[in-house]
Amino acid sequence: MRKLLMSIFVLTSMGIMLGGCVGARTFHEIARAGDTVAVAAGWKHHFTRDNITVTITPSSGAPIVLPPNDPAIRAVVNLYPDPVSSILVSQETGQDITPYARTYADMVSGTFTQGDKDWWQTSVFVDLPPNLPVGNTAIDITTAQGESATSVVEIVSGTGSPNTFQTTFTPLNDNQLLSMQRAGHYTVNISGSTVPYAVQLDLVHAPDVDHGGAGKAHVINPRGDIKNVSWRDDGSNLRVMLMPAEGVALGNMKDFKFYVAGGVTGLNIISVKAVDTNGNPVAGVTGSIY
């Protein structure tokens, strides 16, 4: 596990500058037929093993299509920057901790995430077919929802083999790889013409496992350094309270985003209350779920 996480860290560092580019190279960019490669798919994808189709187009011959959940699609992992990385600290403090760090942060927010500070990139680990000819091979990843990523790997002579993802103790098995994939969840967004200071949402969902249903609510704050999230759930009623961590109003409605995971179903918003820094109500603030 430690060795795999180290390789993911390297991919994350590379991806900050390259992951959003169409036609980026795999990691490694040179491989043998039969080797495992990591495709830096880019920013903000919603890829999972069960929703992507991978099409491998060799330098000659017919394309090879890997359907969702094909065993050759080994893992789909979302990668986040270190929360103490210069790029994030520089963005939040308005200074260049390292040269041009704010410029890089602005590029990510402006070009790749449209102002959303919940940054992630997706890496897809794919076993290449054993009979690929020498030459450039394209790897195209698509979903039914229209998301896509394209990469290229140069196939060289030799006989490759799938990566075993060796750890200190044993290789990672399929279930261990799957456990690193993002779980099913709801995304809750806050909208309005005026950014409030604090927001309270009351939501309902179908009874959880302790009350005759399925799942158990778990609320996730994607950026704990910029906002605090407090929540409680009684098995079907969920209350979430959002406040800035620094004590001054957040700069963007997108900063209020949070997730609800844990396998609960039927999540709906009942009410949204928002206030300014003086505790006065802020009109027109709404929530949405997708």
For the segment 200-223, what is each residue's pLDDT rounded down to a tens digit? 999 999 999 999 999 999 999 999
Q: Is the pLDDT of residue 107 over 60?
A: yes
DSSP secondary structure of the chain = -HHHHHHHHHHHHHHHHHTTSTTEEEEEEEEEET-EEEEEEEET----TTTEEEEEE-SSS--EEE-TT-TTEEEEEEE---TTSHHHHHHHHTS-SSTTHHHHHHHIIIIISTT-----EEEEEEEPPTTPPSEEEEEEEEETTS-EEEEEEEEEEEE------B-SSSB--HHHHHTTSPPPEEEEEEE-SS--SEEEEEEE-S--GGGTSS---EEE-S-TTTEEEEEEE-SSEEEEEEEESSSS--S-GGGG-EEEESS----EEEEEEEE-TTS-B-TT-EEEE-
**Domain ranges in the chain?**
2-80+120-178, 185-289
Query: Residue 140: left if φ>0, alpha if ψ -120 to 50, beta else—which one?
Result: beta
Q: What is the mean pLDDT of residues 97-117?
A: 96
Percentage of the chain lying above the pLDDT 70 cut: 92
Q: Is the pLDDT of residue 17 over 80?
A: no
Whether the per-residue pLDDT at 255 is higher than 50: the answer is yes
Specify whether the CB–CB gap between 206 and 263 falls below 8 A: no
Does pLDDT of 275 surpass 70? Answer: yes
Give yes or no for residue 14 having a pLDDT over 80.
no
Distance from C-alpha of 238 to C-alpha of 144, rounded to nearest angstrom: 32
Per-residue pLDDT for 2 more than 80? Answer: no
Matching CATH number, 185-289, of 3.20.20.120, 2.60.40.680, 2.40.50.140, 3.40.50.720: 2.60.40.680
| Neighbouring-strand partners of residue 150 | 140
Residue range 2-80+120-178 in CATH 2.40.128:
no
Whether 237 shows a pLDDT value over 60: the answer reads: yes
The per-residue pLDDT for 49 is 96
What mean pLDDT is predicted for residues 57-73?
97
Q: How high is the pLDDT of residue 12?
A: 41
Q: What is the pLDDT of residue 5?
A: 41
- The amino acid present at 107, given as its one-letter code, is M
Q: Assess whether the region 2-80+120-178 and the region 185-289 belong to the same CATH fold.
A: yes
Give which of 192, 186, 176, 171 is closest to 259, Cα–Cα: 186
pTM over 0.85: yes
Give the pair of three-digit tokens for residue 200. Answer: 């309270």
Spell out the SS3 assignment of 115-172: CCCCCCEEEEEEECCCCCCCEEEEEEEEECCCCEEEEEEEEEEEECCCCCCECCCCEC
Quote the mean pLDDT of the chain: 92
State pLDDT tens for residues 124-161: 999 999 999 999 999 999 999 999 999 999 999 999 99
* pLDDT of residue 234 exceeding 60: yes
